[in-house]
Amino acid sequence: MPSFDVVNEIDLQEVDNAVNITKKTLATRYDFRGSDTEVNLDRKQLHITISTEDSMRMQAVQDTLSSNLIKRKLSPKVLEYKEPEGTSKGGLRVTVVLKQGIDKDMAKKITKIIKEQKLKVQTQIQDEQVRVTAKKIDDLQEVISMLKEQDLDIPLQFVNMKS
């Protein structure tokens, strides 16, 4: 039977590229000259740490990072900004968690959305992905196009298409 998997995967190399481009951009910006701004990616912990002097610069760093992710064909939905905290030098630090995988609640929501379409497909939650199977490949293509139209909190990729 034809099937595919709905996943949320992050290409860490592209995230690393976006962080590096953000660092270069901030180094050349006039409003960041002489400021103590850092952007660091921790690949093992899957988070980015941003530290700067004030909230205006923090917002500029976040906007630059998001636009660089978009240029690298990654969705800014993978970024989950935590609450800003103060640093010992009087600045701000924000931890940005990279969301990878589909948690149980989101998998149940995706399954519910698919079942509401009343198509002849079966869904199965497997760890951090949702497998969709059907007798006809056309039904699977309908599910893919319908899920692309949904506004979910995470970006979705469709992999392992088997016919």
pTM to 2 decimals?
0.83
Q: How many CB atoms lie within 10 A of CB 136?
A: 13
Measuring CA to CA, how many Å separate 10 from each of 15, 16, 116, 129, 154?
8, 11, 28, 13, 11
- Give me the helix-helix angle, 55-71 and 12-28, nearest 10°: 130
What H or E segment, with its residue span, contains residue 131? strand 129-134
pLDDT tens-place values along the chain, 163 residues long:
888 888 989 889 999 999 999 999 999 989 888 888 899 999 999 999 999 988 899 999 999 999 999 999 998 999 999 999 988 888 899 999 999 888 888 889 988 988 888 888 888 888 888 898 888 888 888 888 888 888 888 888 888 878 7
Give the side-chain half-sphere CA count within 13 A for 22: 30
